[in-house]
Amino acid sequence: MYAILDIETTGGKYNEEGITEIAIYKFDGHEVIDQFISLVNPEKEIQAFVVNLTGINSKMLRNAPKFYEIAKRIIEITKDCIVVAHNSQFDNRILKTEFKRLGYEYKRKTLCTVELAKALLPDQSSYSLGKLTRSLGIPVSGRHRAAGDAMATVKLFKLLLAKDLQKIIIKESIKSDTKLKIEPRLFDIVEQLPTKTGVYYIHKGDGEIIYIGKSKNIKKRVNQHFTSQAPKAKKIQLLVATVTYEYTGSELIALLKESEEVKRNKPIFNRSLKRTSFSHGLYSFIDDNGYTNLKIDQINGKETPITTFSNYQSAKSFLNRTTDEQNLCQKLTGIHLTNGSCFNYSIKQCFGACIAEETKIDYNKRVSKIINKHNFAIQNMVIIDRGRAIDERSAILIENGVYKGFGFYNLNYQINNLDVLQSIITTTEHNRDTQHIIQSYLRRNKKLKIVNL
């Protein structure tokens, strides 16, 4: 659990500043579950430059509560939380100073989004909150006011969690939560899980990930792990301390994250997903008469397939469907072995390429369109899919046939250039598995929005 905060102060000499406004959002890693926002009477003058920057003046604070009146609420909302702030050293120092004046030692574990951003977003020109959020397409309202800056930090932290492919932030959070070191009942774990689409991580008490999975309904899938009598499931049940998760909204991103993170984290119970998940591919060749033929064959590592399939049956179904939809010749797609005309020609669904009635130029042009549509190596596009919330969309970037990664953007902030898109993208490795996952998903979901670059 995280308490993400921002503090506005009077300015002035070191350790003599007073708080003028504070905003705290309690964040469970997915959404804000509690909040506290208040002006504060600092009982001292505000520096003129601060008034100009924040718009907060002494007149506004005359009837605001003094710090000792809100101290209890701050302790309550940050209890058992890691305190997160943009330049947390400053905010933590101000809080500790205020509590020290009351004779109370305020102690919380902290995280700094400036330091996290420098580690996870190394190529940014500036790490100030304003410039960083602007370059990442994060909408900000109420800049230089506590509520606006704290909410911007929430959105930034959410993006940084997605960029943290090693799961260092989550693992450290689990370690620091003493309640999770005592194994809770499996029922209690399941009850806290959502019924949304995403990736889930099963942890031991020390934070180690022992299993990664994806599901359209995380709660239902984890419950299956905990009620199964299979040997692997029983071992997981004995070791599990907690389950964390990430919403993805998009099933495609869930599939890609699962594949990538199993390879990266190597959980002990994910043996099967480490193996390549496709066996057959679609290939093309030119026959003696100059016609482009399509064929299904096993992946051999020597030739590059146009697209890949999990098994022969799914490959055959695709070829049958494509042949019928595009009026291709069954003979030239290997479906009907014959020396004469194919069956589709007899029912007017083939234009006669099998007996040279349709010219090779016309036929090859139609086949080329199919090859270009499914040939990953020539794609430059962004796949737009569901986001994690109603006002959000996901973007999967492919450049020159290479999968670059995925990201999320708010609908209020349109992604209109490649630089902004690349900055919000969580970069992941392109390999044959990710290519297969994307191609399979596109074949199954034909109504997806595709933006060609």
Residue 307 is which amino acid? T
pLDDT of amino acid 342: 92
CATH classification at residue 51:
3.30.420.10
> Looking at the structure, do residues 128 and 23 belong to the same domain, yes or no?
yes
> Looking at the structure, do residues 33 and 94 belong to the same domain, yes or no?
yes
Q: Which residue has the tokens 């704290």?
A: 150
Encoding tokens for residue 360?
């090779």
pLDDT of amino acid 5: 93
> Looking at the structure, do residues 298 and 156 belong to the same domain, yes or no?
no
**Is residue 415 a contact partner of residue 137, using CB atoms and an 8 Å limit?**
yes
CATH classification at residue 207:
3.40.1440.10
Query: Which residue, among 20, 25, 9, has the nearest Cα to 78 in the 3D structure?
Result: 25
Out of 203, 238, 273, pick the residue that ends a domain: 273
What is the enclosing helix (H) or strand (E) of 205? none
Encoding tokens for residue 364?
């090859």
Query: Which residue, among 209, 217, 200, has the nearest Cα to 174 in the 3D structure?
Result: 209
Please list the rounded mean pLDDT of every run of 10 residues in the chain (453 residues). 91 84 90 92 88 86 90 91 90 90 88 88 85 83 86 90 80 59 66 91 90 93 87 88 91 91 88 66 92 90 84 90 92 90 91 93 93 80 88 87 86 67 79 85 85 78
**Is residue 161 a contact partner of residue 197, using CB atoms and an 8 Å limit?**
no
What is the enclosing helix (H) or strand (E) of 242? strand 242-247
Out of 129, 147, 163, pick the residue that ends a domain: 163
The number of folded domains in the chain is 4
> Looking at the structure, do residues 312 and 338 belong to the same domain, yes or no?
yes
> Looking at the structure, do residues 439 and 409 belong to the same domain, yes or no?
yes
> Looking at the structure, do residues 16 and 57 belong to the same domain, yes or no?
yes
**Is residue 183 a contact partner of residue 140, using CB atoms and an 8 Å limit?**
no
Q: Which residue has the tokens 């890609």?
A: 256
Please give the DSSP secondary-structure letter assigned to residue 438. H
Query: Which residue, among 170, 24, 2, has the nearest Cα to 95 in the 3D structure?
Result: 24
> Looking at the structure, do residues 299 and 265 belong to the same domain, yes or no?
no
**Is residue 222 a contact partner of residue 193, using CB atoms and an 8 Å limit?**
yes
Domain of residue 68: give its range. Answer: 2-163
> Looking at the structure, do residues 228 and 105 belong to the same domain, yes or no?
no
Q: Which residue has the tokens 């710090």?
A: 67
> Looking at the structure, do residues 293 and 363 belong to the same domain, yes or no?
yes
> Looking at the structure, do residues 10 and 152 belong to the same domain, yes or no?
yes
Total H helices, total E strands in the chain: 17, 16
> Looking at the structure, do residues 147 and 235 belong to the same domain, yes or no?
no
Residue 278 is which amino acid? F
pLDDT of amino acid 414: 62
Question: CA torsion sign, 402 to 406 to 410 to 413?
Answer: negative
DSSP 126-176: --SHHHHHHHTT----STTSHHHHHHHHHHHHHHHHHH-TT-HHHHHHHHH
| Alpha-carbon Rg for the chain in angstroms | 28
For the whole prediction, is pTM greater than 0.85? no
Q: Which residues pair with residue 397 across a beta bridge?
A: 382, 405
> Looking at the structure, do residues 443 and 327 belong to the same domain, yes or no?
no
Largest CA distance in the chain: 97
What is the rounded distance in angstroms from the CA atom of residue 82 to the CA atom of residue 96? 15
Out of 163, 182, 205, pick the residue that ends a domain: 163
